[in-house]
Amino acid sequence: MRAHPAEYELFAPGGLSAVLSLLAQAPGAWLPIAGGTDVMVQYSAGNLRARRLVSIWNLPELRRIEVLSDEMQIGAGCTYTDLREHGVVSREFALLSSAARWTGGIANQNRGTLGGNIVNASPAADSLPALLVYEAELLLVSVRGERRVPYRDFHVGYRRTQIAPDELIRTICLKRRFSEYYAQARKVGARNAQAIAKVSLAGLGRLADGVVEDIRLAMGSVAPVPLRLTETERIVKGRRVDPVLVQLARKTAAAEVRPIDDIRSTARYRAAVAGNLVAEFLENMSTNGSIT
């Protein structure tokens, strides 16, 4: 049943500190809304439990991208378009800019935010595998202060995160040390735009003399949370990429994922594709990704 607007409050205090004060006064009572690409969908369908919303759209404190010598600091309110149009993101964090390009269509990219993608915590979200392999850190902020947490620990279960009811993500921090890595993002779905992934992969790796020096693999839509494939990484690291290793990695990845059957795909298909994407990644890296 469609929601009735008279049943919902929406405030736009206009500044970060005012928003944080409001959240602190009644923790859990206020739902932050940024570009609305998730919240408004739930609202329109009558599925939004929150009755009080606070707008964090376009807060200047959350819309900045800062490039430090060793780190990128992306404000949580930056949109996919902001990410796509940022030179350093395109050059050094190609997996994130690919994900931004595949999220929704242009209109949703103009409104959807990176912070929103993280707190919405869908295991199928396009940008989250990239954040896992770049080993992002999140700066969480509340009236109590700031804390910095590793992104890999942020999702604690299906659509559950570490964020406290009075907190917002302020910044997504990425170390600038991956520009020399071979990077490949893949989204398998009905189509890239406007479709939710059946399986997605973000992969980073570095070869030295044909041997895998470092590898980071993460997948979407294959577990209750965006999943880092630590077991597959472990068996690949330090070894030469050859057909035997590719086969072993394919099998390990297919066994490591924990997919389900749903309207978009089946567990069996997803596990097979997960293995194939990892195999494809290794083959492409060994063809294109050697660093001399």
Q: Which helix (H) or strand (E) holds 182?
A: strand 182-188
In 10 A of CB 91, how many CB atoms?
Answer: 10
Q: Which of 1, 7, 145, 209 binds another protein (CB under 8 A)?
A: 7
Residues of this chain, 107-166, that bind another protein according to CB under 8 A: 107-108, 110-111
The DSSP letter of residue 224 is: S
Identity of the residue, 109 or 252, whose beta carbon is nearer to another protein in the bound complex: 109
**Residue 178: CB minimum distance to another protein, A:** 26
Span interacting with another protein, options 37-45, 62-70, 127-135, 176-184, rule CB under 8 A:
37-45
Q: Which of 16, 18, 24, 29 binds another protein (CB under 8 A)?
A: 29
Identity of the residue, 34 or 271, whose beta carbon is nearer to another protein in the bound complex: 34
Length of the chain: 292
Closest to 138 measured CA to CA, from 176, 96, 172: 172
Burial (CB count within 10 angstroms: exposed 0-12, middle 13-18, buried 19+), residue 66? exposed
Instruction: Report yes or no: 217 and 197 within 8 Å, Cβ to Cβ.
Output: no
Span interacting with another protein, options 16-24, 33-41, 174-182, 215-223, rule CB under 8 A:
33-41
Span interacting with another protein, options 29-37, 61-69, 134-142, 240-248, rule CB under 8 A:
29-37
Asked if residue 35 binds another protein (CB under 8 A), the reply is yes
**Residue 40: CB minimum distance to another protein, A:** 4
Residues of this chain, 38-57, that bind another protein according to CB under 8 A: 40-41, 43-45, 49-53, 55, 57
Q: Which helix (H) or strand (E) holds 150?
A: strand 145-150
- For 73, phi then psi, to 5°, come to -120, 110
**Residue 56: CB minimum distance to another protein, A:** 10
Asked if residue 5 binds another protein (CB under 8 A), the reply is yes
Handedness of CA 186, 188, 192, 196 (dihedral sign): negative
Task: Give the whole-angstrom CA distance, residue 258 versus residue 198.
Answer: 13
Asked if residue 210 binds another protein (CB under 8 A), the reply is no
Identity of the residue, 16 or 248, whose beta carbon is nearer to another protein in the bound complex: 16
Identity of the residue, 6 or 68, whose beta carbon is nearer to another protein in the bound complex: 6
Q: Count interface residues toward another protein (CB under 8 A).
A: 41
Asked if residue 284 binds another protein (CB under 8 A), the reply is no
Task: Give the whole-angstrom CA distance, residue 154 versus residue 23.
Answer: 20
Structure token pair of residue 244: 């035997």
Task: Give the whole-angstrom CA distance, residue 29 versus residue 49.
Answer: 10
Asked if residue 190 binds another protein (CB under 8 A), the reply is no
Instruction: Report yes or no: 127 and 96 within 8 Å, Cβ to Cβ.
Output: yes
The CA-to-CA distance between both ends of the chain, in Å, stands at: 60
Structure token pair of residue 132: 């896992």
Asked if residue 78 binds another protein (CB under 8 A), the reply is no
Q: Which of 90, 192, 276, 290 binds another protein (CB under 8 A)?
A: 192
Contact positions toward another protein, by CB under 8 A? Answer: 3, 5-12, 28-29, 31, 33, 35-37, 40-41, 43-45, 49-53, 55, 57, 81, 101, 104-108, 110-111, 191-194
